[in-house]
Amino acid sequence: MPGGFEIQLWWLLALPLFFVFGWVAARIDIKHLVRESRTLPRSYFKGLNFLLNEQPDKAIEAFIEAAKIDPETIELHFALGNLFRRRGEVDRAIRVHQNLIERSNDVEGQLGQLSDEQRLHALSELGQDYLKAGLLDHAEDIFVKLRGTQRDEEALRFLLEIYQQGKDWPRSIEIARSLPEHAGHLWQKEIANFHCELAASALLHGQLVEAHHHLDAALAVNRKCVRATLLQGEVALAENDTAAAIEFWKRIEQQSPVYLSLVAPKLLEAFRKEGREEAGMRLLRGWFAEHPSLDLLDTVYHSEFQSAGPEAAYRLVRDELRRNPTLLGLDKFYEAQTQIAPQEQRADLELVKNLIHTHTRRVARYRCDSCGFKARQFYWRCPACGGWETYLPKRTEEFDLQP
């Protein structure tokens, strides 16, 4: 194989040259790095060392000293402002970023001019400072100025957050539709919920026609929007059309059955108003058999207890406990057993039930799929991370039992 031998020999001859070139390039880079590092104040490196050792207070003091020694360190000012904002010292962050913006307005060049990109960066950071401080009007003014610049998409995202915090749902819809991902169908869920917020407000004020309009718009954007369907039933009840409310709520099983527990009590009450409580109970039992959940168990259990008595409720929860052994199910089991037990045994059963109930408080919470925030009540929007429909109406114990 003479050809193969020649190629190998060529590589052997070229390999030392590659090492020489690499060594020369490394020497040049090292010299450049050393030259650059000599121009930085010693306090800058002290600050970095404090950061690496997780001592943010000392790091901030060192960075402030470095910024005073060399006011040209613009990137250092950005880092300092971010540190202040993360620590909650928003006033200091605002002063740092305002100082940078004043440089860009210094026509005589005495403070060191900022490039256009640095000026936009400083404006964005200042807007985030105002947002963190809750000064929504100031933040809005800045991000509106950033529209149409290189930071247009960033400005849109922060404006969306501002309008959501201010519950300005029409503007939230407008901004969400302007975001680039809207064409990729990534914002339908949010836009549908903005329409639902408007519909809920209209319903509260008796503006039923407007409520219908927003719910139709929500379902046009996201046909699987359970919240819109649930509110359609509420509007139908406000119009005294119980049968229509029932039909709306029954659609949720096709949209997303995990949300059935939210509508189960309302649905059963609507069936009672229609004089068809038994039909409502059959529907709920069917839902529970197909889509079991702890919240649905709670509704079916209490309904069974009221309509058929404690014996029937006991059998229901006993069978469910065999199918899905949970601490919350056990709590219901002892509650039912206490009702049917002889009088002399009830005190002991009550003691066990209270002990179990104390422990169920830890697992009887809802959890955000996005950030993990836990809460005792259900939210359409997570109070911690602001995500829409990141809570499922399932208790944390149910998530823990999933493989």
- What CATH number did the domain enclosing 353 receive? 1.25.40
On whether both 199 and 239 belong to a single domain, the answer is: yes
pLDDT at 307 over 70: yes
pLDDT at 253 over 80: yes
- What is the spatial distance between Cα 38 and Cα 48, in angstroms, rounded to a whole number? 15
User: What average pLDDT does this structure show over 183-197?
Assistant: 85
225 annotated ligand binder:
no
Mean pLDDT of the chain, nearest integer = 79
**In 139-199, at which residue ranges do the beta strands (DSSP E only) sit?**
none
Predicted confidence at residue 14, as pLDDT, reads 47
- What is the spatial distance between Cα 144 and Cα 333, in angstroms, rounded to a whole number? 58
On whether both 280 and 310 belong to a single domain, the answer is: yes
Q: Strand 366-368: give its sheet, edge to edge.
A: 374-375, 366-368, 391-395
pTM for the full predicted model: 0.74
On whether both 311 and 223 belong to a single domain, the answer is: no
In this predicted model, what pLDDT tens digit does every residue of 359-399 receive, in sequence order?
A: 666 667 888 888 888 888 889 999 888 999 998 887 766 65
| Chosen domain end from 224, 255, 286 | 255
Q: Is residue 158, in this structure, part of any structural domain at all?
A: no
- Contact in structure between 354 and 389 (CB atoms under 8 Å): no
On whether both 373 and 306 belong to a single domain, the answer is: no
On whether both 271 and 335 belong to a single domain, the answer is: yes
293 vs 169, residue with greater confidence: 169
Token digits of residue 46: 């002290």
169-178 vs 152-165: helix crossing angle, rounded to 10:
160
Q: Is residue 175, in this structure, part of any structural domain at all?
A: no
On whether both 215 and 306 belong to a single domain, the answer is: no
Domain that holds residue 228: 181-255
Predicted confidence at residue 175, as pLDDT, reads 94
287 vs 313, residue with greater confidence: 287
Count up the domains in the chain and report the number: 3
Q: Is residue 71, in this structure, part of any structural domain at all?
A: no
- Contact in structure between 154 and 140 (CB atoms under 8 Å): no
- What is the spatial distance between Cα 223 and Cα 171, in angstroms, rounded to a whole number? 22
pLDDT at 327 over 80: no
pLDDT at 1 over 70: no
Please name the residues in contact with 223: beta carbons below 8 A apart, sequence gap of 6 or more: none
CATH code of 226's domain: 1.25.40.10
Predicted confidence at residue 297, as pLDDT, reads 83
- What is the spatial distance between Cα 111 and Cα 74, in angstroms, rounded to a whole number? 11
In three-state secondary structure terms, 371 is coil
